[in-house]
Amino acid sequence: MTDSSHPTHGGGDSDLNGDGVSRGASGRSSVGPDKLGRRLRDLRLSITDRCNFRCVYCMPREIFGPDFQFLSRDEILSFEELHRVAALFVGLGVRKIRITGGEPLIRREMEQLVGMLASIPELEDLAMTTNASLLAQKAQVLKEAGLHRVTVSLDALDPERFQAMSDTSFPVERVLEGIRVAQEVGLDPVRVNMVVKRGANEDQILPMAEYFRGSGVTLRFIEFMDVGTANDWRLDDVVPAREVLELLESRWVMEPLDPRYPGEVATRYRYGDGGGEVGVISSVSRPFCSTCTRARVTARGELFTCLFGSRGHDLRDLLRSGASDSEIQAVVQGIWEGRTDRYSQLRSQATRDLPRVEMFRIGG
């Protein structure tokens, strides 16, 4: 690394030091709110653009086939670079980091990276999103390395429906085994994200809810989103959160729950009989841009301030050109404080053909 792994902490009251980064009374640097008053609190850190599934809403096989060129090893950030980026963002106020991809578990020895990230002072929550294809084998070492919890992407229980959604011959039972092992080793709470696409898997909403009720797993239903441009998104294919909730209420009494923290993206409900809780994420029908606190860094080191962004900001060149920690933090601060993103609130026919980075690159 060209500088220390963690930002240099200075003292003093809230003012601007020579590097242009605001420092609080504790000496920890912080980023001011963006143009819409939103603070930086969460980082999605992608560690690979590769995936062993070809989910229809993310990486349709007809586009991302065997000849598709993914990033080469020297193009993606090394573990040391990923750790440095994470530490710099924590120094700027981030308290939650989620490791994403692609499929993060296919990156070799990624438990080593987990250990490096878990050692960052003041990081409160280290999570990972995975398709769970390798989770049963990896859960124990991930827990020992310092991972707190996992979210599993699973769009159907029916084997044929699952394989159609993921466009893979991988058995759904091995995904379910990964979930069980994650719970057993203490990667709790385990969450399961189900992307619901009309005509593809809405018949799996009730079976999924029934399966995970009482299991300790929180199931979350996600509206099919127009992330990227390769998934042939149409508004008619969106099953709105309201419809999902009505379907659940046709079977069970559902009671609304208060958000656990400002900016929580899932609207939460509990089963009236004590069977646990579910969430619905309604980026299309009920956008939550106004409370978004997330930044995203891709595997090649591009900073995006919106899931639907079209252009990232290159941090990799800074990392590899000898820039100091404070110089990189000042760049990030300027980007965040100039942020005006609210794509989901503006979504219309006029936004449909805008360029957008693909899901597997930006990290979901």
Q: Which domain holds residue 331?
A: 15-362
Higher pLDDT, 3 or 252: 252
On the question of pLDDT at 3 being above 80, the answer is no
Average pLDDT of span 51-78: 91
For the cut 90, the answer to whether the pLDDT of residue 203 exceeds it is yes
Give the chain's radius of gyration (CA, Å). Answer: 20
Distance CA 362, CA 364 (A): 6
What is the mean pLDDT of the segment spanning 189-202? 95
Alpha carbons 147 and 137: distance in angstroms, whole number: 15
Strand partners, 254: 271
Mean pLDDT confidence for 312-321: 97
| CA-closest candidate to residue 287, choices 227, 364, 345 | 345
Q: What is the number of structural domains in the chain?
A: 1
Residue 107 pLDDT: 97
Q: Which pLDDT belongs to residue 9?
A: 31
Other Cβ atoms closer than 10 A to 17? 15
Instruction: Tell whether 177 is covered by a domain.
Output: yes
CATH number of domain containing 172: 3.20.20.70
> Does some domain include residue 5?
no
**Considering the domain boundaries, does residue 7 fall inside one?**
no
**Per-residue model confidence as pLDDT tens digits over 86-125:** 999 999 999 999 999 999 999 999 999 999 999 999 999 9
Find residue 44's DSSP bridge partners: 98, 296
Tens of pLDDT, residue by residue over 272-310, are: 999 999 999 988 878 878 889 999 999 999 999 987 777
Structural domain contains residue 114: yes
Report percent pLDDT > 90 for the chain: 70
State how far the Cα of 135 lies from the Cα of 182, in Å rounded to an integer: 7
Note whether residue 3 is domain-resident.
Answer: no
